[in-house]
Structure 1
């Protein structure tokens, strides 16, 4: 016997289910098309098959859709764009394949967009960077097989939280994602084929996390480097060309540490 826990996210005023959640725990089956006719959510872990179009019937009240950590396959359906009240979409950790459908950018209230950990292929189309809402949603596309450049339309967006494009086969110069006035806080472009000169990039003060590892990023040949007598704090990066400079290049900062300064505690 398997025990199924059903979590119901309800509107306090109407009692309607607004957030069906599907999370994998050793039970298999398919999402029945009747899910679109139910006043309450149907939850089956370890689902197989494609996402049924009947889910679009829930467009009036559905604000949260999480179909993650299952075995769902097939394409990311374009009909999800009909869920105009959707705030959160999570299709991560599945076996979804094919390209990202452009209509997903037509969701006006979306604040988080998770398509990571699937088998998505093809280019990220320019239309995906033209979101209909006033807020640019957090975008998670990592751990897929996406190719080609980052759409230039992403440069016109002001991500307020996070963009994760890591572990794909993306290429080109995505430096237009950065800028002095950008509000994005977390950017992960690691393990791709990106190539640009990082010394020419201007970063915003809002950026708190940046991962560029395993790419083809370069920097100018520095003949002189000195950041002494500032308010820098943290460990001095130990790789690259920064290791060539002596302690006087880093002297008298608030709490800077690591070779050539004393070790961090």
Structure 2
């Protein structure tokens, strides 16, 4: 038997013992604390069944019993505490996440939970069945996390049947199938959408670009397919700062327009401070990590398009994303050189271009990336000497293995004199020195054949003395104007 609840305890309005040493059962007599507004038992060692007497706490606003060993069969009318919580009409925060002994399926009546509900976290339990469409009735809800369960079927189209306040929707690590519902367009406040590690089969959802506040888009490890390029639409994704499309079946060229529209990554944003935080798990620097997201922006920005079927060259506009922290384009079929514009990625900490068909020299401009911690260029067709200086002196041979044409530290292969002296390609003419000489010769034809040929010869033999070119161009302009 449980000890009776004293009169003094009955008058309690707040119980906050999170991160505490509590053990044993959560007694049914807790339902006698009828004035309780906050019950926070997060991360203790509580066991046993969750009592339906919680429904007696009619003034309850916050209930957090996550990170315990509590059990419940949600689909059983005799032991389902969720149904009893319909009596708690002021409930705004409900979390029973990371209790693996909570099983069954969510009752269809869950849409009647509370007209005040803003936060619902049922992640990392053992819930199965379909996601009830009636969760779309939660008009005020901002945070919904169903990740790490056994949900099956499709994502209900009624999740956002009308405009609401939903900001965070995480459905990752389930068994969901089908496509993303178009009704997500109605979630105009949505900032985070995570559907990773499911069985979704769809084309790239360009229409999500209509969401004006979307910060995080994670489609990792599904069956998304086809090209990302779409000439029929012009959706901006202007606020997007975390995008993970890895481990899918996307094909085609890397979308230049998509990178051009990532305006929030082109300049360091100046957002105000916000206490309200989300989190998202992403794989970067070779390990899966949890990243915190402020209400207005992620603390960490990344683009992961790895393990797909992309081909063609890397667009130069990627080098304009100055606020980007991690870029992973590995395990594709990309060709051509690394754009020298990558030297402008001042905030970059991790760069993975491994397992592609990239070629040419590694641009010396990459030595400007002073925050670079992880570099993976292995299994490509790069040639020439490895750049030296700053962060590049800290990487070992693992970063460059299976590039037979590379030489210099940290590889054992030394560079020949010819390899050291070969000029790097210029971004403007892609290494075509002949094109440059032709421009000079044509300019000389208008103002003197001898002068033009002389310039071309000097440029060809000395490697473009720009001071001379600018001086002669200035003289030519003066002659023309006179």
Could you tell me the TM-score, scaled by structure 2's length?
A: 0.44
Structure 1 contact 99–120 (Cα < 8 Å) conserved: yes
Higher relative contact order (CA 8 A, sep 6+): 1
Structure 1 contact 68–93 (Cα < 8 Å) conserved: yes
Q: Determine if the alignment matches structure 1 residue 131 to structure 2 residue 229.
A: no
Question: How many Å apart are 1:171 and its aligned residue?
Answer: 1.1
**Aligned counterpart for 2:310 among listed residues 166, 170, 192:** 170
- Which whole-Å CA distance do the structure 2 matches of 1:28 and 1:98 have between them? 23
Structure 1 contact 141–164 (Cα < 8 Å) conserved: yes
Match of 2:95 in 1: 7
Gaps of 5+ in 2: 1-48, 50-70, 75-81, 83-93, 98-114, 266-300, 362-381, 416-482
Change (3 A) 1:87 1:19: farther
Q: Determine if the alignment matches structure 1 residue 148 to structure 2 residue 241.
A: no
**Aligned counterpart for 1:63 among listed residues 154, 167, 170:** 167
Match of 1:104 in 2: 208
Q: Determine if the alignment matches structure 1 residue 207 to structure 2 residue 348.
A: yes
**Aligned counterpart for 1:49 among listed residues 146, 149, 153:** 153
Question: How many Å apart are 1:189 and its aligned residue?
Answer: 0.5
Please give the per-residue CA displacement for 1:19-50, whole angstroms capped at 9, x wherever unaligned: 54453543310012222124666958311111
- Which whole-Å CA distance do the structure 2 matches of 1:105 and 1:77 have between them? 14
Please give the per-residue CA displacement for 1:190-243, whole angstroms capped at 9, x wherever unaligned: 111111212745322221111111110112486667737x68541343533133
Q: Determine if the alignment matches structure 1 residue 31 to structure 2 residue 141.
A: no
Whose helix fraction is larger, Structure 1's or Structure 2's? 2
Which range moved further: 119-128 or 69-78? Answer: 119-128
Gaps of 5+ in 1: 10-14, 247-265
Structure 2 contact 146–171 (Cα < 8 Å) conserved: no
- Which whole-Å CA distance do the structure 2 matches of 1:136 and 1:54 have between them? 24
Match of 2:296 in 1: none
Aligned length: 240
- Which whole-Å CA distance do the structure 2 matches of 1:42 and 1:190 have between them? 30
Could you tell me the TM-score, scaled by structure 1's length?
A: 0.76
Task: Tell which structure's C-alpha radius of gyration is larger.
Answer: 2
